[in-house]
Amino acid sequence: MDEENKKVKKEKKPATFKTLFMRRFIFILIFAIIIGGTTTYFVIKNKPEKETKNESEELALDNEVPTVPARENHKSLINYDTDTFDCNDLEVNEISDNFEGYKVRYFQIDGLKDKSIQDSINNNLKNDLKEAVSQAKADGSIKGECYVSSLYSSSFANTLSILYSLDSYIIDQKTYEYTYYWEKSICENYDLTTGNRIKIQDIFTDDTRGSDIFDSTFYNELIKGYTDTDLDEEEYNMLVKDYKDIEEKMLDYILKFDSDQDIPFYFSEQEITFPNYYARIFYEDHLDFVAIYNKYKTQESIFDGRYQGIHNLPVLTKRYNSYRQILDEGENYYIDFNLEKSIFDDNVDEKVLNAVLNYINSDAESVKSLGNNGKFYIYNTSYFLARHEGDNYYSLNTNTYKCETTKSLFNSEIKPRIVNAFRKSARIPTGEARLYDNQFVYYLYEDEENGYEKVNKDWENESSEIFFDLEGNIYETREEAMNPGGIEIKD
């Protein structure tokens, strides 16, 4: 959602060679200090109680780290080359409500067999947000308005992750500067098989240490989130205090992870995000430790069968949230269709919705019926439904990329590139808009300069627009859809 982006500072370009060299030297020095500090911490922790504790340890932890029992052993490592996963057969609905006089949106789930687990999760998804708003109002944290943004991060492999971001700020109408009075992130992460909350330690294998995942990648993410950029040089301006702050943040997270303490985070099929620090950890960098894909698998489905998610996706591929997706591979076709979600924040007339879904299904069936004549057909289509309330009609825009190839070429070259495009989407700074529409064709070629031209050469592109009246009848022109007596052109 767009609300998520307002809290994340814009992506900054890499530094020049000279500053990069000095920064890398300082980074290595700091990282050595971190490792040394962690080692010192555990040495001190195991000394007799009569000895004085290290002050830096108390600064990082605030309190003594509790001794916790070892977690249950899970043998759940993913196989990057062969493992697949399922998006949950679950509906996640956004609800508009009013808490303490403030307009909010929260999520509710539907589709679990065990309704007691479903009710428990739904109560948390609503009441955690409601209590946070009520508490902030009671203690005076809210000045002016309270703004709540809700991010549905992921629903896959019997897990769910959602983020609520709460802000109270005032905008200076002359300078347009923001004065923040209160910010809070509420992370809702669940194991759908039990309804229990997922902690960050549960994402990884039980022998994972904090230093295994809070490494140079996380360090560089903190740099991007917490340092200024020289607009002329486009370099990170780091002061000594910046290095010290980042070192303390990393050490704090390492110690909290190893002592099984809570760390605010939300997660997707590709990454973990820490909203308090604007930083991420990518699964791709830690394949030897990632267990979330297999940890909560069950022999029987936990869903009641009323909804259907996409199944058999390669691990570490992210399918962005849409209203409906069709992803299907047959003997002679590969279909990737996506109906965008934006209009469905509000209700769509049921007759129109059914007509749109039937139209998309008919498009899919027409590809499947092309026949096995030695050719392999690839169709990549994005659909966008728009409401025109004043004129009482809907328009459906389609954008299709299609290609004829052979099955052997598809399996050996094209499909691996499709999978790679979605696996890399989290790290494509400008690619999210296209991949949000699931227009993967833009990223099949590694040559960024000539890739688009090559795609246009090898693929055909077609765009079209059709129209629906409020009864779900389909028309060729806008004027016909606005006229109830217009001529229907497609069943």
Give yes or no for residue 312 having a pLDDT over 60.
yes
pLDDT band at 236 (very low <50, low <70, confident <90, very high): low
Q: Give me the mean pLDDT over the 34-52 stretch.
A: 48
pLDDT band at 131 (very low <50, low <70, confident <90, very high): very high
Question: Which tokens in the block code for residue 171?
Answer: 């905008």
Q: Of 254, 229, 285, 246, which Cα lies nearest the Cα of 30?
A: 246
Q: pLDDT value at position 48?
A: 44
Give yes or no for residue 306 having a pLDDT over 90.
yes
* Calpha distance 166→137 (Å, rounded): 12
DSSP, collapsed to helix, strand or coil, labels residue 142 as coil
Question: Which tokens in the block code for residue 272?
Answer: 């973990």
* Calpha distance 375→378 (Å, rounded): 10
Q: pLDDT value at position 51?
A: 40
476 DSSP 8-state letter: S
Please report, for residues 87, 122, 130, 274, the alpha-carbon distance to residue 65 in angstroms, rounded to integers and kept in the order given: 37, 32, 31, 21
Q: pLDDT value at position 100?
A: 87
Question: Which tokens in the block code for residue 77?
Answer: 């490592």
Number of other residues whose CB lies within 10 A of the CB of residue 225: 17
The answer to whether residues 40 and 185 touch, using CB atoms and an 8 Å cutoff, is: no
Question: Which tokens in the block code for residue 292?
Answer: 């979330």
Between residues 41 and 446, the one the model is more confident about: 446
Phi first, then psi, for residue 357 (nearest 5°) are -65, -40
pLDDT band at 229 (very low <50, low <70, confident <90, very high): very low
Please report, for residues 113, 157, 217, the alpha-carbon distance to residue 301 in angstroms, rounded to integers and kept in the order given: 9, 11, 36
DSSP string, 238-305: --HHHHHHHHHHHHHHHHHHHTT-----EE-SSEEEETTTTEEEEGGGGTTTB-HHHHT--SS-SB-S
Q: Which amino acid is located at 406 in the chain?
A: T
Q: Give me the mean pLDDT over the 348-355 stretch.
A: 91
Number of other residues whose CB lies within 10 A of the CB of residue 346: 8
Q: pLDDT value at position 374?
A: 86
Number of other residues whose CB lies within 10 A of the CB of residue 174: 6
* Calpha distance 434→405 (Å, rounded): 23
Q: pLDDT value at position 181?
A: 75
Question: Which tokens in the block code for residue 477?
Answer: 């022109």
Q: pLDDT value at position 63?
A: 41
Among 6-15, 175-184, 356-365, where is mean pLDDT lowest?
6-15
* Calpha distance 331→372 (Å, rounded): 8
* Calpha distance 99→105 (Å, rounded): 10
Q: pLDDT value at position 419?
A: 92
Question: Which tokens in the block code for residue 79?
Answer: 């196989």
Number of other residues whose CB lies within 10 A of the CB of residue 63: 7
* Calpha distance 470→491 (Å, rounded): 15
- Range with the largest mean pLDDT of 65-79, 262-276, 318-332, 438-452: 262-276
Query: 452: exposed, middle or buried (C-beta count within 10 Å: 0-12, 13-18, 19+)?
Result: middle
The answer to whether residues 442 and 417 touch, using CB atoms and an 8 Å cutoff, is: no
Phi first, then psi, for residue 260 (nearest 5°) are 65, 30
Q: Give me the mean pLDDT over the 73-84 stretch.
A: 77
The answer to whether residues 354 and 472 touch, using CB atoms and an 8 Å cutoff, is: yes
Which tens digits make up the pLDDT trace of 411-452?
Answer: 998 899 899 888 988 887 654 566 777 888 877 766 555 555
Q: Of 148, 169, 156, which Cα lies nearest the Cα of 94?
A: 148
* Calpha distance 470→82 (Å, rounded): 46
Helices marked H in 296-411? 350-368, 407-409
User: Across all residues in the chain, what is the average pLDDT?
Assistant: 80
Q: pLDDT value at position 116?
A: 98
Alpha carbon of residue 44 to chain centroid: 39
| Domain boundaries defined on the chain | 2-65+209-288, 317-482
Phi first, then psi, for residue 54 (nearest 5°) are -70, 130
Q: Is the pTM of this model over 0.85?
A: no
**Edge-to-edge strand ranges of the sheet holding 393-405:** 324-329, 333-339, 376-388, 393-405, 460-468, 474-475
Q: pLDDT value at position 240?
A: 52
Q: Of 110, 105, 114, which Cα lies nearest the Cα of 122?
A: 110
Question: Which tokens in the block code for residue 132?
Answer: 């946070």
Give yes or no for residue 243 having a pLDDT over 50.
yes
Question: Which tokens in the block code for residue 370?
Answer: 């092309």
Q: pLDDT value at position 239?
A: 56
* Calpha distance 279→275 (Å, rounded): 7
Q: Give me the mean pLDDT over the 13-39 stretch.
A: 51
